[in-house]
Amino acid sequence: MPASVRVAVIVMSLLAGLLLLNAGLTWFSREQLADALVDGGALSRSEARRFVVMWLIPYLTLGLVLAAAAWFLPRRRAWARWIGLAATVVLGLLTLFSVLAGGGVTVGSLLLLVLAIAGITSLMSRSTIGWVPRLRGTR
In contact, 69 and 83? CB cutoff 8 Å: yes
Report pLDDT for 139: 43
pTM strictly above 0.85: yes
Mean pLDDT of all residues in the chain?
A: 90
Residue extents of the structural domains in the chain: 3-129
- Residue 42, pLDDT > 80, answer no
Q: What span, in angstroms and rounded, lies between the C-alpha atoms of 25 and 130?
A: 39
> Mean of the pLDDT values across residues 99-104?
84
